[in-house]
């Protein structure tokens, strides 16, 4: 519809801006850049929102110098609007431009000194810049005056930025204001988990109790992670299964539960988890991959071959699955097909050698998707 609108009204800045936003969300960054550059040109470079969006896209494309130039333009146009300076500061900080981020966030705070989100972001930027005294100077009065809800939100932002000790202080203060707050207790347990203080995390989870978790899978999932860190393997497995039972269609839970049992050498349980999840999520590349690997480890090579071939149907560029397919083909005596698959894998590796380190096989986003933006 937007492409049609561009044809009908090719000089409309809002239409090009909206098209750029849509391309951004589809991660078609080159097209987003083109559409937003057109919107900037048509608006005479006077629309701070469009400049911000283009700046965002340039950062995503690793065009840092151009992004910084756009950020400077947007900052001038932002004038006395604290939210605009805050958004710019956050974008700059998240792209490792801490000096410029501090400058924008200090402007935002001078315009809105009582805004908790601005203060939180400025504390994070000071910490990242190594200005711990200034960070503490802002943090102490904030902890004393902020509301429970603002403290929980601030703690989550500190956690997202990897500042778990500061996050713990925010959650502890929130509990002073509201001692029975589930959110503050749960988040505090998570902060302790990230700091490696597993006994403390477990103590807080015990204090919450499963009955107060309201059936949320996140409670059992986090408890499973803590129990595993404490080498309580049986208890960890029970918690992962409880989490999965409460949300059986969650891909992240399926993967982590299946991988847990696989790594614990309980392969039949891992198979049960992956098979159950595959029935609920038949188009999941991750689950089919886990299923194929489990079949392979159990010696069910024909089933493994079928699973890996399904992965390649769902995602033809999944070279890790292509590589994993070679082994069951070879063991099953399908030598010609194994050779062809291996040659395809080698050819793909030659063409994409620079992107191998970015292949999406890590689990770093699973917990975030499951139990909140930073958790």
CB atoms inside a 10 Å sphere around CB 306: 15
Q: Which residue has the higher pLDDT, 371 or 14?
A: 14
Most confident of the following: 75-79, 215-219, 371-375:
75-79
The pLDDT of residue 317 is 80
Q: How far apart are CA 8 and CA 19, in angstroms?
A: 14
Residue 365 has pLDDT above 80, yes or no: no
The pLDDT of residue 349 is 59
**Are the C-beta atoms of residues 155 and 167 closer than 8 Å to each other?**
yes
The pLDDT of residue 59 is 95
Mean of pLDDT values over 136-142: 96
4-11: Cβ within 8 A, 24+ apart: 11/42
CA distances from 375 to 73, 194, 365, 372 (A): 35, 10, 9, 5
pLDDT tens digit string along 167-205?
Answer: 999 999 999 999 999 999 999 999 999 999 999 999 999
Q: How far apart are CA 87 and CA 91, in angstroms?
A: 6
Two structure tokens written together for 228 = 């595993």
pTM of the model: 0.77
**Are the C-beta atoms of residues 47 and 53 closer than 8 Å to each other?**
no
For 201, what's the count of Cα atoms within 13 Å in the CB-facing half-sphere? 24
Confidence bin at 340 (pLDDT 50/70/90):
confident
The pLDDT of residue 9 is 82
Mean of pLDDT values over 68-79: 94
DSSP state for residue 300 in the 8-state scheme: -
Mean of pLDDT values over 57-83: 94
The pLDDT of residue 362 is 31
Confidence bin at 366 (pLDDT 50/70/90):
very low
Q: How far apart are CA 194 and CA 164, in angstroms?
A: 7
Chain centroid to Cα 219, Å, comes to 19
Confidence bin at 332 (pLDDT 50/70/90):
confident
Two structure tokens written together for 350 = 């030659």
The pLDDT of residue 228 is 93
The pLDDT of residue 4 is 84
Q: How far apart are CA 53 and CA 37, in angstroms?
A: 10
Mean of pLDDT values over 68-75: 94
Residue 368 has pLDDT above 50, yes or no: no
Residue 126 has pLDDT above 80, yes or no: yes
Q: How far apart are CA 295 and CA 302, in angstroms?
A: 8
pLDDT tens digit string along 276-296?
Answer: 999 999 999 999 999 999 999
Confidence bin at 371 (pLDDT 50/70/90):
very low
Residue 367 has pLDDT above 60, yes or no: no
pLDDT tens digit string along 250-267?
Answer: 999 999 999 999 999 999
Mean of pLDDT values over 263-275: 93
**Are the C-beta atoms of residues 222 and 196 closer than 8 Å to each other?**
no
Residue 363 has pLDDT above 60, yes or no: no
CB atoms inside a 10 Å sphere around CB 113: 10
Q: Which residue has the higher pLDDT, 291 or 214?
A: 291
The closest of 16, 38, 345, 166 to 2, measured between CA atoms, is 16
Mean of pLDDT values over 290-305: 92
Enclosing H/E stretch for 123: helix 116-129
Q: For the chain, what is the mean pLDDT? A: 88
């Amino acid at each position: 519809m937007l492409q049609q609108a561009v044809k009908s009204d090719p000089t409309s800045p809002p239409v090009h801006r909206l098209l750029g936003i849509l391309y951004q969300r589809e991660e078609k960054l080159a097209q987003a850049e083109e559409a937003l550059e057109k919107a900037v040109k048509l608006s005479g470079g006077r629309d701070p929102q469009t400049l911000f969006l283009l700046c965002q896209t340039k950062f995503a494309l690793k065009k840092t110098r151009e992004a910084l130039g756009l950020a400077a333009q947007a900052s001038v146009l932002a004038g006395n609007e604290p939210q605009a300076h805050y958004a710019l500061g956050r974008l700059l900080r998240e792209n490792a431009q801490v000096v410029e981020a501090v400058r924008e966030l200090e402007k935002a705070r001078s315009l809105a000194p009582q805004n908790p989100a601005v203060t939180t972001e400025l504390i994070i930027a000071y910490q990242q810049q190594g200005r711990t005294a200034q960070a503490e100077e802002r943090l102490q009065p904030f902890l004393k005056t902020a509301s429970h809800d603002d403290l929980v939100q601030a703690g989550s932002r500190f956690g997202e930025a990897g500042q778990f000790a500061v996050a713990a202080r925010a959650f502890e203060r929130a509990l002073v204001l509201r001692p029975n707050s589930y959110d503050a207790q749960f988040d505090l347990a998570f902060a302790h988990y990230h700091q490696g203080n597993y006994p403390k995390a477990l103590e807080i989870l015990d204090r919450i109790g499963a009955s107060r978790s309201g059936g949320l899978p996140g409670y059992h999932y986090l408890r499973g992670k803590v129990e595993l860190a404490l080498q309580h393997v049986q208890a960890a497995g029970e918690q992962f299964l409880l989490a999965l039972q409460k949300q059986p269609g969650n891909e992240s839970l399926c993967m982590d539960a299946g991988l847990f049992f696989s790594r614990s050498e309980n392969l039949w349980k891992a198979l049960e988890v992956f098979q159950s999840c595959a029935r609920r999520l038949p188009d999941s590349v991750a689950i089919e991959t886990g299923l194929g690997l489990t079949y392979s480890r159990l010696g069910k090579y024909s089933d493994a071959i079928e699973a890996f071939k399904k992965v390649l149907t769902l995602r033809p560029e999944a070279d890790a699955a292509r590589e994993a397919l070679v082994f069951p083909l070879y063991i099953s005596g399908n030598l010609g097909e194994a050779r062809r698959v291996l040659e395809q894998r080698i050819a793909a590796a030659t063409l994409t050698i620079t992107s191998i380190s970015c292949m999406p096989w890590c689990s770093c986003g699973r917990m975030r998707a499951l139990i909140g933006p930073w958790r």
